[in-house]
Amino acid sequence: MSETRTGAQIMCEALIREGVEVMFGIPGGAIMPFYYAMWEYRDRLRHVLCRHEQGAGHAAEGYARATGRVGVCIGTSGPGATNLVTPIADAMMDSTPLLAITGQVGSHVLGKDAFQETDITGITMPITKHNYLVKDVNDLAYVFKEAIHIATTGRPGPVLIDITKDAMQKSTVPNWEQKLHLPGYKPTYAPNRKQVREAVKLLLSARKPLIIAGNGVIMSGAVEELRQFAETLRIPVITTLHGIGSFPESHPLSLGMPGMHGWVHCNRAIQECDVLFNIGGRFDDRVTGKASTFAPNAKVIHVDIDPSEIGKNVRVTVPIVGDARLTLQALLDELPPREELAELHSHASDWLEHIRDLQDKHQGKQQYVNRANTAQWALPPHDVYEKLNRTLAARGNYRVVTDVGQHQMWAAQLIDWNAGPRTHITSGGAGTMGFAVPAALGVAIACPNDTVWAIVGDGGFQMTNQEMATIVQEKIKNVKIAVINNGYLGMVRQWQELFENKRYSGTPLSGPDFARLAEAYGWKGLTVEHSDQVQAAIDEAYATDGPVLIDFRVEREVNVFPMVPQNKSIAEMIITEADAR
């Protein structure tokens, strides 16, 4: 039988009941009752004191993306709450299950511009899946149950609970038995059988079919079903930035990444295919380029758990609302026996051979190896990725978290992603600089047996590197940071070089000595300025029992190719430096 609890105690017990073990946050005035109560539950609820609420939010995102479980972040009212806005928006764009808890001023002064009062529920309304303002202690037990249910079901996303200080301080007997009542919220998991049969019919009639696999495959745990489906029909597979890890790149049917900085053969295949099967991706503009010109010859099958995504950006022939794993299982059930697929397999072989010819012509990753001018550079960035990639493959048990910019695209292009789902974690939809270091903190806590590499640019690194102190305070040893330091906001500089006649407005970037900064935080800091130092530094990072930062001072003005200029078709790629001139 329940006993009387304060609202703050109810908050703690509600989180424990929902399986939460770790929270990331910073205390302050309005949220103080929660922190006071937290002390009683410290053996079951680990609180990680971050240095900025944005860092707390990204750390919770990293934890969520590495585990698939809800990540929890905490801030007080006013600036504490508004500092959480960026990671909340990031979680919304990337479908990350996030619970943001914020303290609010007392209910008796709401709307009176009290100290640190901000309408955070109003601010976050367009960037949350749902949010609450709780003023009654009797509502807390149910609201927490409902909030976590909403954050983690259907298309996952962020939910915010804003709680007045007096609601945390008052007492009641919580009703833990109240059942969820959400008549307007019923996610569709099982696909429509008629649409599944239409999709199978279309795929069996195709001569040039193509699969695009997105993050939905990873979130639903459909990796094995995707492999079976692709192998049965012998359809080539492209993986989006967030779909990386859903299909091993060493597989004979794997093509790599499409879109703005995707491979030429992937984009050419999209433009030539006659049936495009998108499973768990949302056709964002980084994939489609100019949407009206995307896949002009294809009939499109789109599977997404969120019905609002279907038909939003690309016309769809067969829409299927459902969970990716359940849909792939239903599709597999509808396929004919393998002995009836001989003709299909013959066409598939011709199609795949054609795409491989395109790949050979445009080289893909090989183009970086063949860059003659890199011999003149002390440290081409690609040398860092080549050696890091080789080391990751040899040592195993790793997660890679990337920030946003050129280094992010190089990582997506140049690392061989064969370690499975949730090993590549990045900010895709919002493109949030400053994501990687705090997200790596969350990933490292979630995956203590893995080595967590945060690959960051010198711009994004300087936005949130204070969380290095959090990593030391928490005695976390399995984080290594690789700063791809080119002294610019690199991706913006690239655009200025290619499209604004090298008018580098606001992009040259200075910074401190990052290795010495790392040492000031209690990390080992290394500096690398020549290619022949790269491998030794990576090896030393692995040999060090603790966090290590390597400042890779790379050639400053290197561009990411291929690329699709803004508002252009993915058929209009700039493939090499020569094309850009």
Query: Based on C-alpha coordinates, what's the Rg of the chain?
Result: 25
Whose CA is closest to 463, among 441, 433, 438? 433
- Are 267 and 299 in contact by the 8 Å Cβ rule? The answer is no
Task: Provide the phi-psi class of 408: left if phi over 0, else alpha when psi is between -120 and 50, else beta.
Answer: alpha
Cα dihedral 494, 496, 498, 500, rounded to 10, equals 180
Phi, psi values for residue 81, rounded to 5°: -70, -45
Interhelix angle 7-17/140-152, rounded to 10 degrees, is 30
Return the active site residues. 53, 115-116, 165, 491
Whose CA is closest to 107, among 162, 25, 32, 26? 162
DSSP letter (8 states) at residue 184: T
Phi, psi values for residue 404, rounded to 5°: -130, 130
Whose CA is closest to 199, among 302, 346, 271, 323? 302
Q: Are strands 451-457 and 398-402 parallel, antiparallel or unpaired?
A: parallel
413 three-class SS:
helix
- Are 140 and 163 in contact by the 8 Å Cβ rule? The answer is yes
- Are 8 and 36 in contact by the 8 Å Cβ rule? The answer is yes
Task: Quote the tokens at residue 320.
Answer: 């299927």
303 three-class SS:
strand
The CA angle 438-69-301, to the nearest 5 degrees, is: 105
Q: Are strands 479-485 and 524-528 parallel, antiparallel or unpaired?
A: unpaired
Three-state SS string over 101-154 comes to EEEECCHHHCCCCCCCCCCHHHHHHHHCCEEEEECCHHHHHHHHHHHHHHHHCC
Beta strands in 40-154 (DSSP E): 46-49, 71-75, 98-104, 130-134
Q: How far apart are CA 358 and CA 352, in angstroms?
A: 10
- State the number of CA atoms in the 13 A half-sphere of 474 facing the CB: 27
Q: How far apart are CA 451 and CA 203, in angstroms?
A: 41
Q: Are strands 71-75 and 5-6 parallel, antiparallel or unpaired?
A: unpaired
Please count the helices (runs of H) and the strands (runs of E) in the chain.
25, 20
Helix H or strand E encompassing 399: strand 398-402
Task: Quote the tokens at residue 23.
Answer: 């929270």
- Are 258 and 238 in contact by the 8 Å Cβ rule? The answer is yes
Asked if omega into 562 is within 30° of 0 (cis), the reply is yes
